[in-house]
Structure 1
Amino acid sequence: MPPTTQPTQLLSPGLLAKLERLELVSRKVFRGRMKGERRSKRKGQSVEFADFRNYVPGDDLRLIDWNLYARLDQLFLKLFQEEEDLHIYALIDASESMNFGDPTKLHVAKQLAAALGYIGLCRADRVSVQALGDEGRRAPVLRGRSGLWKMLQYLDSFGSGHNVSLHEGVKQFSLRNGGTGVVVLITDLMDKEGYESALRMLVGRQMDVFVMHVLSPEEIDPPLRGDRRLIDVEDGDQTEITVNAYVLERYKQTLQSFLKSVKAFCSRRSIAYIPVRTDQPVDEVITRYLRERGVVR
């Protein structure tokens, strides 16, 4: 799908103002490439004191603690917490199954990616928003608030139809991106090949992995009755069923069992699992729901 001239308004001005005060929580400490606003394992120069160490000839004399020298008659250097940037990846499942609901799951996924991406841009992190299976273009790596426009243009430039499996999409991402950081996979997890291998791949990369599982109300509680022909939008498979109270109850039980198994799978591998309904306002999801779950602060 070619890019449009005006990006769709994914983030309202009111939400943008709220996002500027938030920060994405990384449960791991990564070594960044540039100065930023994240605490690092390394000691450097900033306004936040970290530790002392003995003076070694050649050290910067400006870092000597002269008050400590006056008391102990020994030279010590003041060490400060070095702040570095973080790489935040937002991976969007753009398969045809995401083009469902009102608003569609894909639209909500784009809103979530844009919101999380803007939080990272405001914190001087490196941000990359990518559609799984979108091999034709390399998504830009952005930094700073000025990158918001390019991020929104990229999000507006693609639609559904990238029908690669989650495994293949994550594999392509891994081959194109060699770094570590925080990765947020936004998907409905509707993949006949399963989701497990894709998530294992991200965990194996030593990423801090978040899964935002997007479902529509119609998928959670289908408003269907009577004889129906169901067609898989991704591979065209068809089946005919009669939808009655018994079938709907079995469907709901199967769905709850699936959601429980996904949550358990993620928990065992320290993956943050966040279920999201498309009828939840994105403003509420980001500023309240994700804050309560410790994803942002």
Structure 2
Amino acid sequence: MTAEPLLTPDVLRKLETLELISRKAKAGRQRGDRLSKRKGRGAEFADFRPYSSGDDLRFLDWGLFARFERLFLRLFLEDEDLHVHLLLDVSRSMAFGEPQKLLFAKRVAAAIGFVGLVNLDRVTVTAFAEKSLGKSPPFRGRPALSRLLAYLDELEPQAAGDFNRSMRMIAPTLTGRGVVVVLSDFLDKAGVADGLRFLASRGLDTTAVQVLAPEEVEPAVVGDLRLTDAEDGTTAEVTVTADLLDRYRRAVAAFRTRLTGDCNRLGISLLQTTSDLPFDRVALRMLRG
């Protein structure tokens, strides 16, 4: 569990007017017609949220404006929910880094999940390592935020990863229209192309968020070292020289480029980041497109 909250009040304020929009599911709709619980068009009133530029002015609540001098939008339930599927890598390699990769990924997942909850989307979390470790119960509505954060907070690194096997197990569970966000370092000796294909086969709007530690991208080590594989525990003794560091950097760049190519071919959006960057910046970049 983390000593600090996954989301601070300041981050929540930045996020509360945003929406998750599925580009695939909105095909054929009028421009600007947002997907998640289209405001005012369902039969059942559900909640309010602060007005955001581009929202339909017909569904502003002028009574609340008179009381608080702020614009709020009425939200109504629709027959079909937008599903927000958060897939979180909890393999051993995610325990690495300063700040830790898994903690960073949890915070990004929490931010995206919060936006889904505010807009009455159905949010689930599936943790995976060497296989799928099970899906959370669905979370829905702002009051569910504390339960979502508690669920994420309790996830810990589990075992060696097997991305392809995990995605083969998870893909059939991705039902309903909506979005998939998979957060991982994508470090797998077998590669991840097959797993990405399993995700893409579901036809949902999918985003991959690659989280690496800054010391994985730009290591600052020299001399004789014993390196331990974070996944399987194997060790190797190496002498780190300037030439070896240069070859390592080229290998990391090639690895990230290969992941970019795999995602592009499959129509998967990709965000690549390091765990020392502000996590809310990554979430906002994804949400704002």
TM-score by shorter chain over 0.5: yes
Task: Summarize deviations over 1:14-70 as a string: whole Å, max 9, x none.
Answer: 111111111123111179xxxxx62799xx76897xxxxxxxxxxxxxxxxxxxxxx
Q: Identify the residue that residue 296 of structure 1 maps to in structure 2.
A: 288
2:7 pairs with 1:11:
yes
Matches within 5 A, 1:48-197: 84-133=80-129, 138-197=135-194
In structure 2, what residue type is equivalent to 1:262? L
Which structure 1 residue ranges, 4+ long, deviate > 3 Å from structure 2? 44-48, 133-138, 175-180
Q: Identify the residue that residue 26 of structure 1 maps to in structure 2.
A: 22
Query: What is the alpha-carbon distance in structure 1 between the residues aligned to residue 288 and residue 98 of structure 2?
Result: 26
Identity %: 38
Pick the aligned partner of 1:276 from 246, 265, 273: 273
Deviation at 1:137, TM superposition (A): 5.2
Gaps of at least 5 residues in structure 1 are 32-36, 49-81
> Number of paired residues?
249
What TM-score do you get using the length of structure 1 for normalisation? 0.76
Are 1:30 and 1:180, in contact at CA under 8 Å, matched by a contact in 2?
Answer: no
Task: Summarize deviations over 1:148-201 as a string: whole Å, max 9, x none.
Answer: 111011111120124340112222323444445311010001111211111000
Query: What is the alpha-carbon distance in structure 2 between the residues aligned to residue 253 and residue 136 of structure 1?
Result: 34
Query: What is the alpha-carbon distance in structure 2 between the residues aligned to residue 137 and residue 131 of structure 1?
Result: 6
Deviation at 1:127, TM superposition (A): 0.6
Are 1:8 and 1:156, in contact at CA under 8 Å, matched by a contact in 2?
Answer: no
Deviation at 1:276, TM superposition (A): 1.3
Secondary structure in 1 aligned to 2:186?
coil
Deviation at 1:285, TM superposition (A): 2.3
Task: Summarize deviations over 1:59-87 as a string: whole Å, max 9, x none.
Answer: xxxxxxxxxxxxxxxxxxxxxxx785310
Secondary structure in 2 aligned to 1:259?
helix
Instruction: Select the structure of larger CA radius of gyration.
Output: 1
Deviation at 1:216, TM superposition (A): 1.2
**RMSD across aligned positions (CA):** 2.8
Query: What is the alpha-carbon distance in structure 2 between the residues aligned to residue 23 and residue 40 of structure 1?
Result: 10
More moved, 95-104 vs 129-138: 129-138
Q: Identify the residue that residue 211 of structure 1 maps to in structure 2.
A: 208
Query: What is the alpha-carbon distance in structure 2 between the residues aligned to residue 105 and residue 10 of structure 1?
Result: 13
Using a 3 Å threshold, how does the CA distance of structure 1 residues 8 and 170 change in structure 2: closer, same or farther?
farther
Q: Identify the residue that residue 260 of structure 1 maps to in structure 2.
A: 257
Secondary structure in 1 aligned to 2:288?
coil
What TM-score do you get using the length of structure 2 for normalisation? 0.78
Are 1:123 and 1:144, in contact at CA under 8 Å, matched by a contact in 2?
Answer: yes
